[in-house]
């Protein structure tokens, strides 16, 4: 449920359908942080509600223009790799 709440609050998008792809550790042995990767579909635009000192800019990039290795964070690279394997990228 948390991923749906974050989509709605931060990106003003409501997720209708989706699935969990995986759970992973970003830096095993160094950081105990556990991350969950979800694939959301059938998105609906809603009202954004950021906290007072928060800001967020949504930038839309066509899949064909994305280079997986131009990103520096593992979360994005993992998500884009999944999309490529699934044929969405």
For 24-64, write each residue's pLDDT tens digit: 887 767 777 888 888 877 777 777 777 888 877 777 888 78
Distance, in Å, from the CA atom of 79 to the CA atom of 84, rounded to the nearest integer, reads 9
pLDDT of amino acid 66: 84
pTM above 0.85, yes or no: no
Indicate whether 2 pLDDT > 60.
no
* pLDDT over 70, % of the chain: 75
* Residue 17: predicted pLDDT: 72
Beta bridge partners of 35: 24
Q: What distance in Å separates the CA atoms of residue 2 and residue 27, rounded to the nearest whole number?
A: 22
Picking from 3, 36, 1, 2, the residue whose alpha carbon sits closest to that of residue 21 is 36
Distance of CA 4 to the CA centre of its chain: 11
């Amino acid at each position: 449920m948390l991923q749906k709440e974050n989509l709605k609050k931060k990106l003003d998008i409501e997720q209708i359908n989706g699935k969990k792809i995986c759970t992973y550790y970003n830096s095993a042995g160094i950081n105990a942080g556990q991350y969950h990767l979800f694939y959301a579909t059938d998105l609906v635009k809603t009202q954004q509600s950021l906290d007072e000192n928060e800001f967020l800019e949504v930038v839309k990039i066509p899949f064909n223009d994305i280079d997986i290795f131009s990103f520096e964070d593992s979360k994005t690279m993992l998500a884009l790799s999944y999309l490529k394997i699934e044929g969405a990228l």
